[in-house]
């Protein structure tokens, strides 16, 4: 699964369990034990409680609790805690026999009961805390989405114009352009086609990848009309058989950036290379453009309204199923977007 910020998530999890461990060692310490034994005992608990937490959170709860299979959920949680407590008691007994030989002897039954109680309390507390946190987070995200939806609807209503009137105006302009000025007429036709796609075809959540590629081709042709002849644009597609859908107008931001920052050197190759592939339902879009090393170009994976909007759309439309990366060198700039398609 492609998840942006996976490294940060691992750090947060590690810090959380480190905090829990230090809490046990220094706050809930049993002063009848030496510090060395306390550290060992609590670390042993940490291993089994951590394992139970992840098994419960990522397997038992999604598969059974959220599926309303309550009997199976309760049974599996009991079995999980009972089994981990059994392993923990066995490890503790071996440590008492071979490591902490001076410690008071405790029966295996007592070790097992203590293990069940401690593991049950902490697993339940942490799992319930995680569920409460997730619910609060989901409610906050839902509230944010509702606000953004209302704002987008308001912005759309403010900016909305009658498409028919707009196309009639474009037709009027086209009719008044001198027939000898074929370049201007072609540019207007290209622009009209792009606008028609955005106004009519893109009013859906997903659109066929074939239509999006056709739009990209038209957009590239429109941009090339505005550029010098020494710019070469190559586009390669390699799509496995099947019907694929994608959110509309995701890729145009990256293409627009490429045309904006592509080099314009009279004595060197100025090139934009686009490669679009779909393999095993993994959609990959790569675009690379030459840049002028003498001109300072401020483009990054965090700057620019277009890129910020693109990332926000990806987070909303493909949460946990996309990855976007950027690479800027002296003479080229490259962007790669990957999406797990349904």
74-117 pLDDT, tens digit each: 999 999 999 999 998 888 888 777 666 666 677 888 889 988 99
Q: What is the pLDDT of residue 56?
A: 92
> Where do the H-state alpha helices sit in the chain?
6-26, 35-55, 70-98, 108-159, 163-176, 182-196, 209-226, 252-261, 305-317
CA–CA distance, 248 with 205 (Å, rounded to integer): 7
Q: Residue 162: what pLDDT?
A: 53
Q: What's the pLDDT at 3?
A: 41
In the prediction, which pLDDT does 287 show? 96
328: left (phi over 0), alpha (psi -120 to 50) or beta: beta
pLDDT value of residue 155: 62
**Which among 122, 50, 116 has a CA at the least distance from the CA of 82?**
116
Confidence band of 213 (pLDDT split at 50, 70, 90): very high
pLDDT at 214 over 60: yes
pLDDT band at 128 (very low <50, low <70, confident <90, very high): very high
Query: Looking at residues 120-124, what average pLDDT do you find?
Result: 91
48-67 average pLDDT score = 91
Name the nearest CA neighbour of 114 among 21, 45, 54.
45
pTM for this prediction: 0.53
Under a CB-based contact definition with an 8 Å cutoff, are residues 201 and 248 in contact?
A: yes
Would the pLDDT of 157 be above 70?
Answer: no
The confidence band for 159, taking pLDDT boundaries of 50, 70 and 90, is low
Please give the angle made by the CA atoms of 302, 306 and 312, to the nearest 5 degrees: 70
Residues forming a β-bridge with 340: 282
- Which pLDDT belongs to residue 147? 81
In this model, does residue 29 exceed pLDDT 80? no
For the residues 302-322, what does the mean pLDDT come to? Answer: 81
pLDDT of residue 312: 85
Q: CB count, 10 Å around CB of 209?
A: 19
Query: What DSSP designation does 247 have?
Result: -
Determine contact, residues 17/84, Cβ cutoff 8 Å. Answer: no
Residues 336 and 125: their CA atoms lie apart, in Å, by 42
Confidence of residue 265 (pLDDT cuts 50, 70, 90): confident
Residue 122: is its pLDDT beyond 60? yes
pLDDT value of position 337: 96
- What lies within 8 Å, CB to CB, of 339 at 6+ separation is 2, 246, 282, 283, 314, 318, 321, 322
Long-range CB contacts (within 8 A, 24+) of 134-140: none
CATH architecture of 230-340: 2-Layer Sandwich (3.30)
> Does the pLDDT value for residue 2 go beyond 80?
no
Q: Looking at residues 314-335, what average pLDDT do you find?
A: 89
Helix 163-176 with 182-196: angle, nearest 10 deg: 170
Higher pLDDT, 329 or 196: 329
Tell me: pLDDT of 189 over 80: no
CA–CA gap between residue 323 and residue 339 (Å, rounded): 7
Domain ranges of the chain: 6-155, 230-340
């Amino acid at each position: 699964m492609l998840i942006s910020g996976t490294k940060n998530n691992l750090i947060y999890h590690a810090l959380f369990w480190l905090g829990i461990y230090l809490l046990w060692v220094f706050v809930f310490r049993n002063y009848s034990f030496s510090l060395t034994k306390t550290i060992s005992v609590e670390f042993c608990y940490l291993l089994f409680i951590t394992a139970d937490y992840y098994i419960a959170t990522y397997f038992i709860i999604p598969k059974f609790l959220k599926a309303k299979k309550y009997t199976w959920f309760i049974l599996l949680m009991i079995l999980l805690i009972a089994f981990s407590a059994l392993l923990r008691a066995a490890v503790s007994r071996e440590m008492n026999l071979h490591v902490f030989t001076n410690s008071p002897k405790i029966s295996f039954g007592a070790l097992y009961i203590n293990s069940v109680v401690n593991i049950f309390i902490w697993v339940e507390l942490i799992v319930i805390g995680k569920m409460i946190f997730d619910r609060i987070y989901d409610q906050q995200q839902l509230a944010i989405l509702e606000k953004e939806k209302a704002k987008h609807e308001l912005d759309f209503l403010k900016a909305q114009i009658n498409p028919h009137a707009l196309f009639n105006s474009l037709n009027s302009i086209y009719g008044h352009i001198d027939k000898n000025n074929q370049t201007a007429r072609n540019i207007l036709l290209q622009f009209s086609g792009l606008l028609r796609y955005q106004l009519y075809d893109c009013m859906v959540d997903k659109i066929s990848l074939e239509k999006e590629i056709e739009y990209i081709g038209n957009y590239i042709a429109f941009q090339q009309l505005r550029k010098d002849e020494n710019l070469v644009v190559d586009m390669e597609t390699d799509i496995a058989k099947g019907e694929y859908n994608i959110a509309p107008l995701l890729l145009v931001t990256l293409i627009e950036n490429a045309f904006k920052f592509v080099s314009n050197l009279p004595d060197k190759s100025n090139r934009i290379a686009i490669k679009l592939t779909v393999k095993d339902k993994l959609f990959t879009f790569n675009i690379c453009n030459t840049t002028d090393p003498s001109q300072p170009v401020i483009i990054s994976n965090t700057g620019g309204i277009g890129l910020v909007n693109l990332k926000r759309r990806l987070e909303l439309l493909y949460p946990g199923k996309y990855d976007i990366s950027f690479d800027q060198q002296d003479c080229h700039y490259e962007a790669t977007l990957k999406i797990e398609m349904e």
